[in-house]
Each structure stands twice: as structure tokens, then as C-alpha cells.
Amino acid sequence: MSPSYQDLIAAAREVIPEVEPADVAPRVAAGDGPLIIDVRETAEWDQGHLPGAVHIPRGFLESRIGGTAPDSDQEILVSCASGQRSLLSAQTLHDMGFTNVTNLAGGFARWKQNNHPVEIPRILTAGQRSRYSRHILIPEVGEEGQMKLLDSKALLIGAGGLGSPAAYYLAAAGIGTIGIVDDDEVDESNLQRQIIHTTDRVGMNKGESAKQAIAALNPEVQVNVHPFRVNRDNVLDLVSQYDVIVDGADNFPTRYLLADASLMTNTPLVHASILRFEGHASVFTPYDGPCYRCLFPEPPPPDLAPSCGEAGVLGVLCGVMGNIQATEAIKVLLGIGDTLSGRLLIYDALGMTFTELKVRRDPDCPSCGPNADLQLRDYEAWCAGVGSHDHAGASA
């Protein structure tokens, strides 16, 4: 007669030593415990497991154990819900040639009963799986990447031409926290391009207005409204709360301030600027690639640097450039692909051309060079100073 389930269990007990939770818990807590293989089903695993355990459902044990435990002498502790499936799994590992396999007595149930620490894996909710399904399908993103985005914090400087489309797509992508710095109010003349605002929100703070649009699109996103101008007194405190800066400022003092704050807080800076039919975009990765000042050591004088309010801008140009920023911010947050670090992308909407320029780190850069004495200063005065006179030899 072939052996019954009881026979199989009894036979395995002869071969596989059992370990009480209390005996192994101190080693697990100290981080020098055995390799723990949890053989339960995914739904059980999602409810919680031993700290540091590796999940291999019993049906995949033979095919996956080699990838997890390449060394057959390795100490392995197998666990399940009550200690029986794990016992049979341990027997299987023993039969496969693993020489140091033990079974967790009483399984996860006894472990939990004895109040040993439990890890609950982060998983996407059913709603999140559905909302972000097209991201999850992409191998470079997947569930893990989506969770990373949900844990990420992006700081948008300005909810204007660039900030509007960037905020929309970052919110749709599930960036967990979006900070919006803008002291300005929505004006009718903004609506030709600042698409996150609406006609009935004219007069409202732009951050507040963007917050309403984001809440309607993706209520899960936490929006921090910062209704003030970024300046040297608040910039470091502000920037250090975020993982990436999306620069949509409209003036040089703010752009140079952000460039230095990005270096001082080691926060990547996603840059874009726009005028009429033309846009620039780049990514400045602190001390890894060039910084804004490596590219533009000095701002031009005011007559060579008109704002969009003075010289105009094609509305849809903002959409292209703001979404290039959103794309780069997502790549920076996920750590995937090749960002625009070390490159300046120039988009000419009239000619419909994209041109790429090489940007290199300046060894003498006064902001990120080895001899830089980096400290925040009066950027308004500095920008006015370098732009106001004929300054063949002027420097910072």
C-alpha cells in the first residue's frame, strides 16, 4: 500500500530536525539566522511572514530553490502556516541534496502566537493594480516600480506652463507626494497653456488650483501646497523633503538658487525652459553629471532673457517640455533608462526638430567643481550684477 499523508509526515520527521520559534527568533532578530524559505501560497504570504524570509510557494520549490540557495550546505529553515507543508518541503530539499535543512515547528502561526516580529509585505491594493495596470505591464516598471513611484516625492517649482502638464502626468503616474511651490494666482491669460487650471478657478492660488485638479484625477496623491516664493531662507528645508526637483521657474535667480540647492541637498534637478517656439531640457544629477552652472555659468542680461510674459510662448510647447520633465522625473525616481544628464535637448517647434548638445562638467565650476565654495547667496543681486554691465572679465 502506498504511504498515506500521515506516513509521509512521520517519515519526514525522522529526517528533518524541527526548530522552535523561540530558539531561532534571537538569531533572526540579530540578522544571522538561517535562510528562511516560506512555502505558503501568495495570499497567505501577503498577510505577513518571518522577517527576511524568502517566498517560494511549494509548487515552485524545486524549480526556484537553486536561484535562492546555490550552496547545498547552506543552513535553510523552511516555514509554512502550521509546520506540515514546510516539513514535506524540507524533505524535498533534503532529497535534492541540501544537507542542512530544518523545519519551523508550529509554522508562522506559532511564531506569531509567541509575539515574534512579523513583516507584512507591501502590496498594491486591487484599486492600485487596476489604476496602474499599464505601468505594471512594463517590465522596467512593474509592481515594484509602481510602489517606488507611490513612495516618491516630487517638488514642482511653479504650477505654470511647465508645471501644469508635469503635475498632471506625475499625479496620474501615482507619484505619492507632489509639492507645488507657487505664490501666484491663476489669471485668465494663463489658461492658453497652464492646463491644470480652469476658468472658474481664476484668482485662486495656483498650487491650490492644481491640488483640486490632481484630487479629481488621482485622489491618492498627497499634494503639498507651498504658497510662497522659493528663496534662500526656505529652499534647503523645502528641497530636502523631496526626491526630485522639477524646475519650471520663470526667472534666473530662482533657477540658479535651485541649482545650488540641488547640489547642497544632493537632489536631482529636472530642468526645462521655454520661449516662443523653443524649449530646453536637461537633467542635473548632483556631482555625477554637470550642473546648471556648468552649462550656463552666468545668466544673460534682462533684454536677452525675456520671460514668456514679455516675449510670448506657444501654449502647446509647454505641454511638450513639461511632459519631457515628467518623463525624466519618473526615470530618475525609478532609476531606469538614460536621462538627459550630460545632454541639453533643444526642441524647436517651428522647425519640428530636436537637437542634442553635449554638456560636460566644468572642472572650474563655481558651484560643483572641486574648489567650489558653495553657499546660498543673494541670487537677485548676482543675476542683476552680472547682467547689468559690460563684463568681459566679470565672474561670480
124: Cβ–Cβ under 8 A, 6 or more apart, which residues?
Answer: 132, 136, 143, 146, 147
**Binding residues with other proteins: total (CB under 8 A):** 57
Among 107, 145, 179, 299, binds other proteins (CB under 8 A): 299
What Å distances lie between residue 223 and 156, 174, 205, 329, 334, CA to CA? 11, 12, 14, 17, 20
Q: Select from 275, 320, 374, 384 the one that contacts other proteins (CB under 8 A).
A: 275
Q: Is residue 308 among the annotated active site residues?
A: yes
The span from the CA of 116 to the CA of 79, in Å, is 14
Bridge partners, residue 320, by sequence: none
**Shortest distance in whole angstroms from residue 328 CB to Zn ion:** 18
Least separation, in Å, of the C-beta of 165 and other proteins? 12
44 versus 278: smaller Cβ distance to other proteins: 278
Minimum CB distance to other proteins smaller for 152 or for 282: 282
Contact residue for other proteins among 28, 178, 180, 295 (CB under 8 A): 295
DSSP-derived secondary structure letter, 190: G
Measured at the alpha carbon of residue 136, what is the angle toward residues 132 and 141, in degrees to the nearest 5?
115
> Min. distance of Cβ 367 from Zn ion in angstroms?
5
Q: Which of 101, 105, 120, 83 is nearest to 22 (CA)?
A: 105
| Shortest distance (Å) from residue 55 CB to other proteins | 46
Beta carbon nearer to other proteins, 122 or 391: 391
> Which partner from the list other proteins, Zn ion, none does 311 bind, CB cut-off 5 to 8 Å by kind?
other proteins
Q: Residues 239, 241, 244, 245: is their CA dihedral positive or negative?
A: negative
The verdict on 276 binding other proteins (CB under 8 A) reads: yes
Instruction: State which residue, 238 or 249, has the beta carbon closest to other proteins.
Output: 249
Catalytic residue among 308, 318, 365, 383: 308
Least Å distance between CB 248 and other proteins? 4
Interaction with other proteins in 210-269: which residues (CB under 8 A)?
247-252, 255
Whole-Å CA distances, 112 to 22, 43, 57: 11, 17, 20
Q: Which residues are catalytic?
A: 308
